[in-house]
Structure 1
């Protein structure tokens, strides 16, 4: 791969597989983990975003499929957020703000969310899905933030669904995976129209991500108790916050 020592490429694949396993176990695609791994191994910045989005698509697609088949997906909850998110994700991706300050703010927000999740000792009862008049603008806001930060948006949607008790842990994972999938597809399509190049090693990277996601999605579907999944999501948010802070 361009700008990467070939002898290090297998280790990059290991990092990708581990990130995919951890993130997919809570319904996330893992973009921030893949970006951190590629940055660590010196992959060219111009190749990092399209590679991360491509891996996001295959991982989130796999996780969503497994959780949907297991009966955890709530379409009524998902679609208002998704319809609000997609156009604003395009808009957010086209705007350049003061990136360093914004990354620090997002890192703090994620740490607060992680603190709340890690302290939780049980899964709270859920409420009915929000009215579309609430979900559409919330989805639009999340889509805008997702476009600004370059991630699929699940890392912001998951804590919101749990905090407001709109879904339990596994339904949150399923809805977040679908949310990440559609936003990542839209983001990658937009990048391709600008002439962005894909790395030559991308098929191997996607294969490593799928391998990790097969394990992680098994954890999401049946192996971990809901409380453990909540705690694992808290760990994921801490990892993402640290990554944003140190790269700001």
Structure 2
């Protein structure tokens, strides 16, 4: 990769990590979009995105956990359903083109609802039904492992729209969910890690720096209204990426 392309890609990764981590996300869809824009080989994109996602989600989970924005009772059913399915999805190499278009449209609609109705997430928080949480986690996990993301872009709007978490707890739960999902997906795609080029270390440094900055600001400085608006922006980016991929 040419030095200019390397600098541009590292900068895009930094920006994506800062933006996504501010709402508890790892940023995989942003990394995939950036790498696709710069012409990175498909065989490199998936494992690279999962590794960066793992690092940034770790930082986000730590920061939101310190800010007491996490609920174990909300997290574990989704994680229990997602982990084995994320591993299974990581084993497969099938481009789910039609489904990605549908998911992209859903994410854009979710972003619209969050932006236009800022009070919708202020409803009384209730515990998610166990079976529904397990099934939703399984579906999100499989899709996440298949395309190389952590699943936060799907879990966050679900938690908010269903009234299962407030915005900050949603961010904390999503960060932990992305962490375990990325690890499971990467475990299922270990062969792809060998394809990552040496300059990948610069991507790691950029992602860690952006993730540290974004997660700190998101966990300590942003109120619920701003968190919803930020999440809406993230969903637009992720949804747009799904549609044009």
Q: Is TM > 0.5 for Structure 1 vs Structure 2?
A: yes
CA distance in 1, matches of 2:92, 2:40: 24
Aligned length: 244
Instruction: Provide the secondary structure at the position in 2 that maps to 1:152.
Output: coil
* Structure 2 unmatched runs, 5+: none
Contact between 1:84 and 1:139, CA under 8 Å: does it hold in 2?
yes
The partner residue of 1:172 within 170, 173, 194 is: 170
CA distance in 1, matches of 2:163, 2:46: 32
Contact between 1:142 and 1:153, CA under 8 Å: does it hold in 2?
yes
Q: Which range is displaced more, 176-185 or 92-101?
A: 92-101
Matched, 1:7 2:22: no
The partner residue of 2:201 within 200, 203, 213 is: 203
CA distance in 2, matches of 1:98, 1:30: 19
Matched, 1:52 2:49: yes
The alignment's TM-score, normalised by the length of structure 1, stands at: 0.92
User: CA offset at residue 6 of structure 1?
Assistant: 2.3
Contact between 2:89 and 2:188, CA under 8 Å: does it hold in 1?
no
CA distance in 2, matches of 1:95, 1:214: 31
Matched, 1:118 2:115: yes
Contact between 1:51 and 1:199, CA under 8 Å: does it hold in 2?
no
CA distance in 1, matches of 2:61, 2:111: 23
CA 1:60/1:80 → structure 2, altered by over 3 Å: closer, same or farther? same
Tell me what 1:79 maps to. 76
The partner residue of 1:136 within 134, 137, 140 is: 134
Matched, 1:17 2:14: yes
Tell me what 1:149 maps to. 147
CA distance in 1, matches of 2:34, 2:95: 24
The partner residue of 1:89 within 74, 86, 90 is: 86
CA distance in 2, matches of 1:98, 1:47: 15
The partner residue of 2:99 within 99, 102, 125 is: 102
Tell me the C-alpha RMSD between the 2 structures.
Answer: 1.7
User: CA offset at residue 179 of structure 1?
Assistant: 0.5
Q: Which range is displaced more, 73-82 or 95-104?
A: 95-104
Instruction: Provide the secondary structure at the position in 2 that maps to 1:92.
Output: helix
* Structure 1 unmatched runs, 5+: none
Matched, 1:216 2:214: yes
The one-character-per-residue Cα deviations of 1:31-61 (angstroms, maximum 9, x if unpaired) are: 0111111111122221111111111011000
